């Protein structure tokens, strides 16, 4: 300002707000679009800046109005504050105009102004007034609740259908549908603002951390005196998106799954629900945050909360407070609760990104991306600490307040309603503010030139390094330690472990005793086999020597004895046979005699009976005749029974004795013949074969017995854990079961997994440096000894070449590079992991950059040209 009196611009838009905290005035500076909040005393002072009223008169009127003193220095400082915010006309009467740039922001938050949607919104607002009626709100709310119930009832089917979208062909439709929903979301903010007679002059695109988004600037909502209107502007976007989500649920349910309409509806259902949930989260600086800020009637809630929490931490640390003005108790509680929760959430997000994404980038061996990401995170941490403990950052930083600044889901509203004159004191007196010192134009010019010179020097040095610099080509990858020799100590026989003689870490030489197996059963079996072998050997000797004369003489006597016994048995049989025949003949004679006597008696009885009938005989004679018939019949039956007995006598026992004696005689004769003939050649050969089998069995048992002593197959170190070795005691092990491992660790091998993109330039004989995770301060050196002839998947199993790019993109391929490392210190253990660097020779920086660029671009992209 010059020496002329300040004159307030007449194009400033001013809105009076009455809240529980008092009356305030929100002023919009139309050229820059910034908003400022003035207290009642500040607005009273600003009204008197008409270009005619002297400053002394203004000061006196303020003192009379508020019954408080106001110094000239304080008034001059207030004028300087308003002048910096372009509240005044210049000396020529022109209004200060700040050109509106189409692109604004910084590297992390870029805003691209697209067009002024005022005319478009005015036309649409006349045609869609039904959406701003209570009937639509009630019906849409019921419809949304009904759609929620439908989704819950068919949740399993929804999850199944969503899996259909996991294909590359769905990406264009996904982007198009999400873009349309985002446009509808932002237009809902803007149309609601226009419906309440607010101005909307800006709609465009955002790049938030290099992610595309959209915005609609509805900052005019700050001018609405009614809190309900401001909240409706903030809620219009997410509410209308929920309505679109409900429509999409119905479209998903009533259309066939193989139609494009069903796919589009499914995309809306899957994305809008999650977006709305995040959008209404007040901890993120999206619509939910603005709704909370409007409901609490606390503008700049996030910024003030961070500043208040930082001030509390400063006071706890014994540092002076940055907040000189008194804050009402209600606002103190709001700032403390929201500030603590938001600060914790903000740093949690930053820490999560640092740990997860940073870990993956480090494992992916992308140093450039790691450094760039760390730089971005450093900027975010710096801004967070500046919000908490430092001075207020510049406007560029204000736009970039957190990871959750603006998004495609939020109607953009400038969260920057400044107090151009700080809050009033308890007595109603404006607080003092030091005048802002005016710096010389030369100093300002030098400050503007200094960054340019620095960046110019950096650019020249970078170009020179790029064109003429050289650096070592290093290819890194994870490694896994393997022993040079890996020998398994296994049980030679099936037996019970008797004793283990080694422990984990013991050094053993080839042939040292590792364990002793039980040999009790084997020794008993060996003794049994040896006894059987001795018996067979004695028999063989007997066969080879032949029969003695004494044995032949004895056999002859046995033949004679058996012949005598056979003859005696035969004679006895013949005698018994003759006696049987004689008794049988006598029995036959007796039977015939009995039959004749019986016949005679029957005739005599018949004659007596006839005489009785004629009356000539006597009863006594008849009885005697009948008695004689009965006696003679019984005698005949006895004779016949005797004949049957004689016939039943078959002389079996006597015939058996004859057969036995004849057989014994033949056996004795045969034995005599054998003894006289001597041993057969085949018998000797058979016995010799049995003898050989027994000797083989004895040798096998002796070998098994030797196998009970388990020996080390190589020189090395026992690698089996002590716990497992102790558990083997008195345990049954089968043949081939593992007892211990012996590693040769004086020299180890490391298998390095190199991405197939990095394999070019690696050759046998190149230097390798390794750092194990167990010893991060130790560097181990080796040379490349071999390179695998085929690539493998990340799981380690070899895979057949893929026939499509989609298949090859599913997982990265690696090639195993092997190196040998001297390990006399025995620090490296099998199974250890770490990172290795292969030095592939010096290359120009230009070649290294070209190599990195070629590795970054996909081969599929190269194939398009």
Q: What's the token pair of residue 589?
A: 């004679």
Closest CA to 298 of 331, 332, 329: 331
Final residue in a domain of this structure, among 353, 382, 403: 403
Dist. CA 560–CA 566, nearest whole Å: 10
Q: Sheet harboring 417-419: ordered strands across?
A: 13-19, 22-29, 34-39, 417-419
On whether both 32 and 160 belong to a single domain, the answer is no
| Confidence at residue 247, expressed as pLDDT on a 0 to 100 scale | 95
On whether both 621 and 636 belong to a single domain, the answer is yes
Final residue in a domain of this structure, among 353, 388, 403: 403
Measured in degrees and rounded to the nearest 5, phi and psi for residue 277 equal -60, -45
Task: Kindly report which listed range (343-347, 415-419, 861-865) carries the lowest average pLDDT score.
Answer: 415-419
| Confidence at residue 404, expressed as pLDDT on a 0 to 100 scale | 38
On whether both 740 and 762 belong to a single domain, the answer is yes
Choose the most confident range, by mean pLDDT, from 119-128, 243-252, 340-349, 547-556. 243-252
Q: pLDDT tens-digit profile of 623-650?
A: 887 888 888 888 888 888 887 887 777 6
Mean pLDDT value of segment 442-469: 70
**What confidence tier does 436 reach under pLDDT thresholds 50, 70, 90?**
very low
Task: Kindly report which listed range (148-152, 329-333, 349-353) carries the lowest average pLDDT score.
Answer: 349-353
Mean pLDDT value of segment 783-809: 60
Q: What's the token pair of residue 424?
A: 């009033």
Task: Kindly report which listed range (408-422, 551-565, 788-802) carries the lowest average pLDDT score.
Answer: 408-422
Dist. CA 656–CA 263, nearest whole Å: 105
Is 90 exceeded by the pLDDT of residue 249?
A: yes
Mean pLDDT value of segment 821-846: 86
Residue 465 falls within a domain, yes or no? Answer: no
Q: What's the token pair of residue 274?
A: 């999650």
Is 70 exceeded by the pLDDT of residue 448?
A: no
Residue of 349 and 234 predicted with greater confidence: 234
What H or E segment, with its residue span, contains residue 22? strand 22-29
Q: What is the mean pLDDT of the chain?
A: 78
Longest dimension (CA), the chain: 205
On whether both 541 and 555 belong to a single domain, the answer is no
Number of structural domains (the chain) is 6
Mean pLDDT value of segment 339-360: 72
Which residue range is the domain that position 85 belongs to?
13-95
**What confidence tier does 250 reach under pLDDT thresholds 50, 70, 90?**
very high
| Confidence at residue 438, expressed as pLDDT on a 0 to 100 scale | 34
| Confidence at residue 195, expressed as pLDDT on a 0 to 100 scale | 92
Is 80 exceeded by the pLDDT of residue 680?
A: no
Q: Yes or no: say if 764 and 787 are a contact pair by the CB < 8 Å rule.
A: yes
pTM of the model: 0.52
Q: Yes or no: say if 70 and 44 are a contact pair by the CB < 8 Å rule.
A: no
On whether both 685 and 673 belong to a single domain, the answer is no
Residue 193 falls within a domain, yes or no? Answer: yes
Mean pLDDT value of segment 679-686: 74
Q: Yes or no: say if 716 and 742 are a contact pair by the CB < 8 Å rule.
A: yes
| Confidence at residue 574, expressed as pLDDT on a 0 to 100 scale | 82
Q: pLDDT tens-digit profile of 31-64?
A: 777 888 888 888 888 888 888 888 888 888 888 8
On whether both 107 and 224 belong to a single domain, the answer is yes
Is 80 exceeded by the pLDDT of residue 822?
A: yes
| Confidence at residue 692, expressed as pLDDT on a 0 to 100 scale | 87
Dist. CA 703–CA 693, nearest whole Å: 15
- Classify residue 68 by its DSSP letter: S
Q: pLDDT tens-digit profile of 6-23?
A: 888 888 888 888 877 678
Q: pLDDT tens-digit profile of 705-728?
A: 888 888 888 778 888 888 888 888
| Confidence at residue 402, expressed as pLDDT on a 0 to 100 scale | 36
Residue 535 falls within a domain, yes or no? Answer: yes
Final residue in a domain of this structure, among 371, 403, 435: 403
Q: Sheet harboring 109-115: ordered strands across?
A: 103-105, 109-115, 203-208, 211-216
Looking at 424-519, list the stretches that DSSP marks H as alpha helix, in order from N- to C-terminal side: 441-468
Q: What's the token pair of residue 848?
A: 């290294």
Choose the most confident range, by mean pLDDT, from 75-84, 367-376, 622-631. 75-84
Instruction: For residue 559, give the CATH number of its domain.
Output: 1.10.287
Give 538: exposed, middle or buried? Use CB within 10 Å, 0-12, 13-18, 19+: exposed
Residue 435 falls within a domain, yes or no? Answer: no
On whether both 219 and 131 belong to a single domain, the answer is yes
Q: Which residues of 631-669 are buried (b: 16+ CB within 10 A; e: fewer)?
A: ebbebbeebeebbeebeeeeeeebeebbeebbebbeebb
Instruction: List, as one string, the DSSP characters of 755-799.
Output: ETTT-TT--TT-EEEEEETTEEEEEEEEEEEEE-SS-B-TTS-B-
On whether both 20 and 64 belong to a single domain, the answer is yes
Long-range contacts of 666-669 (CB under 8 A, 24+ apart): 667/562, 668/555, 668/558, 668/559, 668/561, 668/562, 669/559, 669/562
Mean pLDDT value of segment 521-525: 84
Residue 1 falls within a domain, yes or no? Answer: no
111: left (phi over 0), alpha (psi -120 to 50) or beta: beta
Which residues lie below 8 Å from residue 478, measured CB to CB, with a gap of 6+?
A: 363, 752, 753, 833, 834, 835, 836
Dist. CA 832–CA 540, nearest whole Å: 65
**What confidence tier does 374 reach under pLDDT thresholds 50, 70, 90?**
low
On whether both 786 and 847 belong to a single domain, the answer is yes
Dist. CA 19–CA 227, nearest whole Å: 9
- Classify residue 354 by its DSSP letter: I
Residue 733 falls within a domain, yes or no? Answer: yes
Is 50 exceeded by the pLDDT of residue 801?
A: no
On whether both 255 and 396 belong to a single domain, the answer is no
Q: pLDDT tens-digit profile of 597-610?
A: 888 888 887 887 78
Residue of 498 and 393 predicted with greater confidence: 498
Question: How many residues are there in the chain?
Answer: 865
Is 80 exceeded by the pLDDT of residue 696?
A: yes
Instruction: List, as one string, the DSSP characters of 161-213.
Output: HHGGG-SGGGHHHHHHHHHHHHHHHHHHHHHHHHHTT-----EEEEEETTEEE
Mean pLDDT value of segment 128-154: 93
| Confidence at residue 797, expressed as pLDDT on a 0 to 100 scale | 43
Instruction: For residue 823, give the CATH number of its domain.
Output: 2.40.30.170
Q: pLDDT tens-digit profile of 270-310?
A: 998 888 888 888 887 778 888 888 888 887 888 888 888 88
Mean pLDDT value of segment 758-779: 90
Residue of 523 and 149 predicted with greater confidence: 149
**What confidence tier does 862 reach under pLDDT thresholds 50, 70, 90?**
low
Q: Per DSSP, what are the bridge partners of residue 16?
A: 25
On whether both 282 and 303 belong to a single domain, the answer is no
Residue 441 falls within a domain, yes or no? Answer: no
Residue 317 falls within a domain, yes or no? Answer: yes
| Confidence at residue 356, expressed as pLDDT on a 0 to 100 scale | 67
On whether both 753 and 841 belong to a single domain, the answer is yes
Is 60 exceeded by the pLDDT of residue 428?
A: no
Instruction: List, as one string, the DSSP characters of 296-328.
Output: HT-TTHHHHHHHHHHHHHHHHTTPPPS--S---
- Classify residue 89 by its DSSP letter: B
Closest CA to 103 of 199, 33, 204: 204
Mean pLDDT value of segment 514-523: 85
Is 50 exceeded by the pLDDT of residue 416?
A: no
Measured in degrees and rounded to the nearest 5, phi and psi for residue 63 equal -65, -35
């Amino acid at each position: 300002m010059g020496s002329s009196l300040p004159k307030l611009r007449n194009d400033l838009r001013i809105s009076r707000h009455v809240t529980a905290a008092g009356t305030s005035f929100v002023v919009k500076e139309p050229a820059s679009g910034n908003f400022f909040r003035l207290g009642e005393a500040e607005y009273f002072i600003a009204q008197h800046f008409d270009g005619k009223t002297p400053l002394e008169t203004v000061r006196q009127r303020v003192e009379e109005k508020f019954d408080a003193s106001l110094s000239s220095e304080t008034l001059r400082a207030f004028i300087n504050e308003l002048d910096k915010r372009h509240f005044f006309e210049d000396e020529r009467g022109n209004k200060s105009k700040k050109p509106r740039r189409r692109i604004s922001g910084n590297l992390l938050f870029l805003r691209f102004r697209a067009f002024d949607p005022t005319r478009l919104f005015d036309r649409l607002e006349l045609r869609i007034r039904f959406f701003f009626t209570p009937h639509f709100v009630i019906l849409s709310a019921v419809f949304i609740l009904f759609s929620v119930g439908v989704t819950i009832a068919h949740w399993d089917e929804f999850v199944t259908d969503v899996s259909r979208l996991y294909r590359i062909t769905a990406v264009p439709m996904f982007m198009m549908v999400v873009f349309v929903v985002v446009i509808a979301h932002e237009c809902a903010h803007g149309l609601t603002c226009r419906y309440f007679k607010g101005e909307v002059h800006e709609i465009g695109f955002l790049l938030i951390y290099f992610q595309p988004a959209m915005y609609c600037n509805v900052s005019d909502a700050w001018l609405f005196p009614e809190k309900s209107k401001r909240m409706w502007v903030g809620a219009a976007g997410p509410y209308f998106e929920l309505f679109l989500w409900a429509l999409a649920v119905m479209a998903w349910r009533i259309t066939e799954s193989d139609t494009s309409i069903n796919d589009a509806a499914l995309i809306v259902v899957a994305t809008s629900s999650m977006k709305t949930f995040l959008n209404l989260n007040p901890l993120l600086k999206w619509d939910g945050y603005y709704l909370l800020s409007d409901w609490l009637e606390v503008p700049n809630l996030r910024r003030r909360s961070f500043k208040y929490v930082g001030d509390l931490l400063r006071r706890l640390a014994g540092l002076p407070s940055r907040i000189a003005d008194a804050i009402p108790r209600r606002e103190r509680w709001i700032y403390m609760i929201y500030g603590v929760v938001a600060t914790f959430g903000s740093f949690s997000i930053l820490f999560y990104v640092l740990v997860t994404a940073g870990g993956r980038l480090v494992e992916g061996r992308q140093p450039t991306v790691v450094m760039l990401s760390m730089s971005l995170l450093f900027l975010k941490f710096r801004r967070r600490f500046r919000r908490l403990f430092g001075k207020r950052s510049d406007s560029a930083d204000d736009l970039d307040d957190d990871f959750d600044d603006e998004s495609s889901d939020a109607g953009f509203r400038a969260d920057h309603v400044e107090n151009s004159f700080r809050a009033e004191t308890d007595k109603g007196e404006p607080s003092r503010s030091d005048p802002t010192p005016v710096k010389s134009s030369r100093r300002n010019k030098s400050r503007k030139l200094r960054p340019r010179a620095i960046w110019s020097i950096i650019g020249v040095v970078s170009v020179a390094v790029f064109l003429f610099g050289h650096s070592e080509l290093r290819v890194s990858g994870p490694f896994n330690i393997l022993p040079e020799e890996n020998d398994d100590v296994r049980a030679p026989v099936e037996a019970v472990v008797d004793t283990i003689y080694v422990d984990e870490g013991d050094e053993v030489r080839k042939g040292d005793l590792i364990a002793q197996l039980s040999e009790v059963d084997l020794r008993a079996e060996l003794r049994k086999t040896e006894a059987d072998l001795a018996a067979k050997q004695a028999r063989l000797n007997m066969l080879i020597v032949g029969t003695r004369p004494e044995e032949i003489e004895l056999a002859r006597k046995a033949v004679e004895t058996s012949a005598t016994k056979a003859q005696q048995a035969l004679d006895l049989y013949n005698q018994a046979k003759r006696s049987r025949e004689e008794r049988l003949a006598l029995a036959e004679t007796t039977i015939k005699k009995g039959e004749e006597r019986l016949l005679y008696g029957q005739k005599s009885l018949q004659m007596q009976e006839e005489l009785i009938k004629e009356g000539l005989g006597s009863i006594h004679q008849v009885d005697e005749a009948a008695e004689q018939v009965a006696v003679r019949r019984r005698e005949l039956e006895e004779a016949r029974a005797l004949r049957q007995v004689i016939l039943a006598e078959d002389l079996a026992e006597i015939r058996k004795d004859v057969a036995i004696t004849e057989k014994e005689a033949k056996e004795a004769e045969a034995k005599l013949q054998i003894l006289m003939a001597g041993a057969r050649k085949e018998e000797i050969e058979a016995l010799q074969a049995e003898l050989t089998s027994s000797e083989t069995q004895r040798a096998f048992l002796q070998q098994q017995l030797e196998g009970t002593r388990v020996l080390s197959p190589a020189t090395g170190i026992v690698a089996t854990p002590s716990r497992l070795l102790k558990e083997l005691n008195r345990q049954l092990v089968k043949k081939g079961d593992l007892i211990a491992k012996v590693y040769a660790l004086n020299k180890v091998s490391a298998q390095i997994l190199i991405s197939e993109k990095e394999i070019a330039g690696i050759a046998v004989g190149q230097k390798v440096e390794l750092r194990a995770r167990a010893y991060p301060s130790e560097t181990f050196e080796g040379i490349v000894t071999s390179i695998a002839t085929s690539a493998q998947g990340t799981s380690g199993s070899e895979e057949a070449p893929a026939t499509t790019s989609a298949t090859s993109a599913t997982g990265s391929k690696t090639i195993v590079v092997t190196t040998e490392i001297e390990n006399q210190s025995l620090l490296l253990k099998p199974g250890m992991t770490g990172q290795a660097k292969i030095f592939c020779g010096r290359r120009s920086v230009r070649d290294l950059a070209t190599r990195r660029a070629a590795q970054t671009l996909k081969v599929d992209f190269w194939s398009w040209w």
